Amino acid sequence: MSDLDPSSSTDLADDRRGRDDPATLPIDTVADVGEAIQQNVSRVIVGNESVVDHVVATLLGGGHVLLEDVPGVGKTMLARSIARSVDCTFSRIQFTPDLLPTDVTGVNVFDDRSREFEFQPGPVFGNVVLGDEINRAPPKTQAALLEAMEEAQVTVDGETRDLPDPFVVIATQNAVEPTRNYELPLAELDRFAKKLHLGYPDPDDEVDLLGRTVGDHPIESLEPVVDRETLVRAREAVGTVTASEPVRSYATRLAGYTREHARIGVSPRGTIALLRLAQARAALEGRDYVVPDDLQVEVPVVFPHRIRTTDRERDAEEIVSEALEQVPVDDPTEADDDRSRR
């Protein structure tokens, strides 16, 4: 049972005073953070527990999330629920065909009184940034997020400015109306740790959803359950989760399989994202070490959107599924080395 009550804004930092290293949260507390956010979001999002779990793991793992599906299945509501669950700054960017890069990053404005240019930060300067219908904006505007998502900074008129910590982008993408949208370039897709699909709810879940939305919508009363400092410390704690050499080797071989069987396979950035998210997965389970199962849970949502195939090849999901089936957990070369030493 979690120590956190998702209906309150409990400060986890206060619960752990007196530790030898107050700057680092224990792994069991990281698991409590994740559980609190998940339970809070479930007050708004009915069903889709797996999707919520993946978003929370990405939040703790320091990545960004792309939600793709048809309109009206709760993509934006999920992003707003995650943002409201954390006591951080939140900003929303509604991507449209006429949106300019400076509308995202900010712009220098001349001040008549000071006779100097002053920087007016754009909506990207938030802890949790919702990029709504990101594929409706042209590539030039989409590219404004590349530096921000990779390095947590933006450069405007030659001056680089750091974004707040933590910084996470939760973007939604319309999966229909291809003639009215712009395809996200692979360079940008590669910066999203995961690409998730919500799908239509089950009939029972939809009935429950309709009951919750009669009168005031539950999103309006959602309160934060984790503060900014605790989230930062939780993400730092995730980085201390042990990933042994065999686990790292397994991740590398999974990525290598995609490179051998697709025109463009998973990049090293994708392998790094997989390992980081596996660390978050382990922390959510209360472990301070990664096991192969953690990788196997994350691979289906971390790898496919990074892969490009030809028309004659299988699709990305099939290649990833085959990788999980064909790539052994134990490295056969290491087994051969062990036998030769005996």
Q: What percent of the chain has pLDDT over 90?
A: 56
**39 within a domain of the structure (yes/no):** no
**10 within a domain of the structure (yes/no):** no
**36 within a domain of the structure (yes/no):** no
**84 within a domain of the structure (yes/no):** no
**211 within a domain of the structure (yes/no):** no
Q: Which pLDDT score, from 0 to 100, does residue 241 have?
A: 97
**281 within a domain of the structure (yes/no):** yes
Q: Distance from CA of residue 72 to its chain's centroid? A: 21
Ranking 74-78, 101-105, 149-153 by mean pLDDT, the lowest is 74-78
Beta bridge partners of 65: 170, 194
C-alpha distance across the termini of the chain, in Å: 47
By residue count, the chain amounts to 342
Under 8 Å between Cβ of 124 and 259:
no
Q: What is the CATH number of the domain that holds 254?
A: 1.10.8.80
How far apart CA 284 and CA 29 sit, in angstroms, is: 9
How far apart CA 66 and CA 168 sit, in angstroms, is: 11
DSSP result, 46-66? -S-HHHHHHHHHHHHHT--EE
Mean pLDDT in the chain? 85
Nearest-Å Rg of the Cα atoms of the chain is 21
**176 within a domain of the structure (yes/no):** no
Give Cα separations from 184 to 107, 146, 217 (angstroms).
Answer: 24, 11, 32
How far apart CA 286 and CA 276 sit, in angstroms, is: 15
Beta bridge partners of 177: none
pTM metric for this prediction:
0.85
Under 8 Å between Cβ of 253 and 331:
yes
How far apart CA 248 and CA 258 sit, in angstroms, is: 16
How far apart CA 194 and CA 318 sit, in angstroms, is: 17
Number of domains within the chain: 1
Beta bridge partners of 130: 92, 170
Q: Which pLDDT score, from 0 to 100, does residue 215 have?
A: 66
Give Cα separations from 320 to 2, 185, 323 (angstroms).
Answer: 34, 20, 5
**264 within a domain of the structure (yes/no):** yes
pLDDT confidence bin for 23, thresholds 50/70/90: low
In the predicted model, what is the mean pLDDT of residues 10-31? 60
Choose between 199 and 304: higher pLDDT: 304
**What angle in degrees, to the nearest 10, is found between the helix axes of 75-85 and 27-41?**
130
* Residue 318: domain span: 242-331
Choose between 211 and 224: higher pLDDT: 224
In the predicted model, what is the mean pLDDT of residues 335-340? 44
